[in-house]
């Protein structure tokens, strides 16, 4: 996955972010998972980074469907992305250790819910207050 992301960066001037390509990548992953599970990993490693780039840099105006307002509306309640990143792996590992026979889908569902709760708590109790302190300290240093 790192190399796919690095390739996106290296070829960023040539990489066209378009909804139809992102949709085709999603379809390819779904078909790969359903029809040829052995090939899914290859398809996933090639298609997934493009879908992530599309979601991160979705083109369009804020006033039309598919524009930036809708996809980023979740940020109005808080930026949970860092908490999701930090807590996901430990939550997955703890869940797998506590429920050794858990299926992949159940593990995914449990991990998403628990990680999101931890990310929300982290944002509202730690990250947001820390960022406010940083802005306050920065304003004092400018004066």
Q: How does pLDDT run across 117-136, given as a tens digit for each residue?
A: 999 999 999 999 998 888 77
Of the pLDDT bands very low, low, confident and very high (cuts 50, 70, 90), residue 7 is confident
The runs of H, that is alpha helices, within the chain are 2-10, 19-35, 37-56, 68-71, 81-98, 104-122, 128-142
Cα angle 95-127-129, degrees, rounded to a multiple of 5: 140
Average pLDDT over residues 90-113: 96
Of the pLDDT bands very low, low, confident and very high (cuts 50, 70, 90), residue 61 is very low
Q: Residue 54 pLDDT more than 90?
A: no
Of the pLDDT bands very low, low, confident and very high (cuts 50, 70, 90), residue 39 is confident
Percent of the chain residues past pLDDT 70, beyond the cut: 85
Query: Torsion-angle region of residue 66: left (phi > 0), alpha (psi -120 to 50) or beta?
Result: left
Q: Give whichever of 27-31, 53-57, 98-102 has the largest mean pLDDT.
A: 98-102
Average pLDDT over residues 95-106: 95
121's CB contacts (< 8 A; 6+ apart) are 83
Q: Residue 63 pLDDT more than 70?
A: no
Q: Where are the domains of the chain?
A: 1-76, 77-143
Percent of the chain residues past pLDDT 90, beyond the cut: 43
């Amino acid at each position: 996955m790192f190399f796919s992301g690095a390739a996106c960066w290296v070829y960023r001037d040539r990489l066209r972010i378009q909804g139809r390509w992102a949709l085709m990548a999603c379809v390819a992953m779904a078909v790969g998972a359903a029809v040829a599970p052995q090939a899914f990993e290859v398809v996933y490693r090639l298609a997934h980074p493009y879908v992530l780039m599309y979601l991160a840099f979705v083109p369009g105006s804020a006033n039309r469907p598919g524009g930036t307002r809708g996809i980023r509306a979740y940020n109005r309640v808080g930026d949970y992305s860092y908490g999701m990143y930090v807590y996901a792996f430990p939550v997955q590992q703890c869940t797998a250790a506590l429920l050794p026979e858990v299926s992949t889908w159940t593990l995914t569902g449990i991990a998403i819910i628990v990680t999101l709760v931890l990310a929300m708590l982290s944002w509202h109790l730690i990250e947001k207050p820390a960022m406010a302190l940083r802005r306050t300290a920065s304003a004092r240093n400018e004066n």
